[in-house]
Amino acid sequence: MVNGCADLFHLDIMDGVFVPNISYGFPVVEAIASKAALPLDAHLMIVSPEKYVERFARAGASMISFHAEATEDPERVLELIRSFGVKAGLAFNPDYPLEKVYPYLKSCDFVLVMSVFAGFGGQKFIPDTWERLASLKEEIIRQDAGCLVEVDGGVSPDNAARLAAAGADILVAGSAVFRAPDPAAVVAQMKNA
C-alpha cells in the first residue's frame, strides 16, 4: 500500500507587495496549526520578513523561509528564525544569482529553490531549474553545509523522480495535488517516484 500522506504542510504567505497577490495571514495560519497533525512550513513571500518571523513562529510554524530578494541582511533573518527553535530557510526566485545564496548556506537549515516565479499557483516548472539545482547541490557539498533543498513551483509526478535524483529533499506540490481528482494518490505517486 502506498502512503498518500504528505510530510508537511507548505503555507504560501503573500502580502500583495513583495508579490502582486495576497493569500492569507496569521488567523488562518493559527487555525491550520490548531488542527494540523503535520509540521507547518511557512514560505514568506513578503517584504520585511524580520518583522513577522516571531508571529509565524508563535502561530505554529516549524519551518520558515523568506526571500533573499526581500531583505538586505539574510544572515540576520536566518538567525532570528533559528532563535525561536524554528528551521530557517532562504528562498529565491528563478532569476536570483545563485552565487549570492552561497555565503548563507551554512546558516540555512534548508534552501527553497523556486522553480517558478513566486506569487501565483499553477505555473509551469522552469527548465533552467535543473542546472541551478546541480550547481547549488555541488556548492552545498563543497561547503559541507548540510542544508536541505526544497523545490517549489510546477512540481508534479512528472518531474518528482528527476527532482529527487537531482538532490531535492523536499518537494512542494500545489496544483498537481489539489487539482487532482484524488490528491492522496498524487502524493503517493510522488513519494514513490
3-state helix, strand, coil in the chain (%, to 5): 40, 20, 40
Decide: is 150 part of the binding site for Zn ion (CB under 5 A): no
- What is the distance, to the nearest Å, from the Cα of residue 149 to the centroid of all Cα atoms in its chain? 9
| Closer Cβ to Zn ion, 120 or 130, answer by number | 120
Nearer to Zn ion, 43 or 87 (CB): 43
What DSSP designation does 125 have?
P
Indicate which residues carry an active-site annotation: 12, 152
Q: Write out the binding residues for Zn ion, residues 36-55 only, by CB under 5 A.
A: 43
Sheet holding 170-172, edge to edge: 9-14, 40-45, 61-67, 87-92, 110-114, 148-152, 170-172
Kindly indicate which of the ranges 8-16, 22-30, 124-132, 138-146 contains the residues binding Zn ion, using the contact rule CB under 5 A.
8-16
Question: By beta-carbon distance, which residue lies closest to Zn ion?
Answer: 43
- Rounded to the nearest 5°, which phi and psi values hold at 11? -110, 120
Q: For residue 173, what are the β-bridge partners?
A: none
Q: What character string, x for contact with Zn ion (CB under 5 A) and - otherwise, covers 101-140? A: ----------------------------------------
Which residue ranges make up the site for Zn ion (CB under 5 A)?
12, 43, 152
